[in-house]
Amino acid sequence: MADLLTHVLAAYVLATICSWCIEGVTPAVRTVAMIGAVVPDLNRMDLVVPPATIESVLGVPFSWSAFHTLGGVAFAVVVGAALVAPRYRRRVAALLALGAGAHLVLDSFLFTSSGYSESFLWPLTDHRFATDGFYKSYDRWPLVVAAVVTGIVRLVDRRRSQSPTAPRAARE
Amino acid sequence: MRWPPFVRVAVLVVVCSGLFGLFVLDGARWGPVHTSAVEPVWGAADPTDLTWGPIAVSVIEQGPLRGDPSGPAPSDEWYVWSVSVLGGCWIALRAVLGWRFDSRSLAFEPRDRPRGVLEALRDLFKRGRSARTRRGRER
């Protein structure tokens, strides 16, 4: 995985661009996309609660890495949507999916030692795509690019929200 | 669609159970990864001997592992963790300032007007002081 901040910035950029076209994507709702970008990285829960501990307690196989797949993200999106007020449910579900989807797409371009991406589409399919990989998880340049793009998008967004024709939600 | 509270709780229980089932299924998929002592082997002569944790099956198809076998330096790991923590703090701050929990509907809602950091700290301070005053009166 690339570092979390890069994923969060990518989700922020996408959600901000969405807010230009779709009414109701307020700054608070944009935060949801950023939260969505964290969901696949919840597989790092294995550092807090090792799967081996859960396996020994419950007696069943266990792996947190399901969070880094389409199936895990889909379940997390439904949980997120059920936790908010009814009128925000669709927006929250869409933006959680946007942030998490962007995370998985970005991670599919990672350099891996095997030359294959992770099986992101599990449990639909176990297929792992052959990839040369554009960056390693600890490269600095993806964050620099993400920060520059975020700066530009934020600037454009500020100009749009200050214009008198901007919708009220964008100016909030 | 407005769900009664018990329906929401039932939906959450069902979805969380499904998520747990996915973790179990995933654990079964990885098989012995958490219990096996097999470590990645770099530059082995026979590709069939190569394993890389959970993706051992595909290694046979693709040949030797590639890239730098030494992996990330400690400074690289420090970098990844520090910027990731920064990202996490940013989201947490935005979530706290932009969202609130409505105790009547038992659901999260965006605030009508996002709070500033100073405003949030002031509220926190006020709440703490009023709680202390209340406790003092009770005594």
Can the peptide bond before residue A51 be classed as cis, meaning omega within 30 degrees of 0?
no
Q: Give the dihedral sign, CA A119/A121/A124/A125.
A: negative
CB contact under 8 A, B102 and A84: no
Q: How far apart are CA B65 and CA B59, in angstroms?
A: 8
Per DSSP, the residues of B56-98 read HHHHHHH-S--S-TT---HHHHHHHHHHHHHHHHHHHHHHHHH
Q: How far apart are CA A4 and CA A20, in angstroms?
A: 25
Q: Give the dihedral sign, CA A100/B87/A50/A78.
A: negative
Q: How far apart are CA A155 and CA A133, in angstroms?
A: 31
With a threshold of 0.90, does the pTM exceed it? no
CB contact under 8 A, B83 and A51: no
- Can you read off the two tokens belonging to residue A98? 């946007």
pLDDT digits (tens, 9 = 90+) for B15-38: 999 999 999 998 887 654 444 444
Least confident window among A136-140, B39-43, B86-90: B39-43
Of B65, B72, B83, the CB nearest to A114: B65
Of A66, A88, A137, the CB nearest to B22: A66
- Long-range CB contacts (within 8 A, 24+) of A155-158: A157/A16, A157/A19, A157/A20
pLDDT digits (tens, 9 = 90+) for A62-97: 999 999 999 999 999 999 999 999 999 999 999 999
Quick check: B90 and A6 in contact, CB under 8 A?
Answer: no
Polymer length of chain A: 172
CB contact under 8 A, B24 and A34: no
CB contact under 8 A, A114 and B94: no
Confidence at B47, pLDDT banded by 50, 70, 90? very low
A-B C-beta contacts closer than 8 Å: 155
* CB neighbours of residue B52 within 10 Å: 18
Beta bridge partners of A135: A110
Mean predicted confidence (pLDDT) in B38-60: 46
CA distance B126 to chain A (A): 24
Residue B7, amino acid: V
Give, for B99, the enclosing helix (H) or strand (E): strand B99-102
Prediction ipTM score: 0.85
CA distance A166 to chain B (A): 18
CB contact under 8 A, A5 and B30: no
- Long-range CB contacts (within 8 A, 24+) of B83-89: B83/A3, B83/A4, B83/A5, B83/A6, B83/A143, B84/A3, B84/A4, B84/A5, B84/A41, B86/A5, B87/A3, B87/A4, B87/A5, B87/A6, B87/A7, B87/A8, B87/A9, B87/A38, B88/A4, B88/A38
Confidence at A130, pLDDT banded by 50, 70, 90? confident
Q: Residue A41: what pLDDT?
A: 93
* CB neighbours of residue A169 within 10 Å: 16
Of B24, B72, B111, the CB nearest to A61: B24
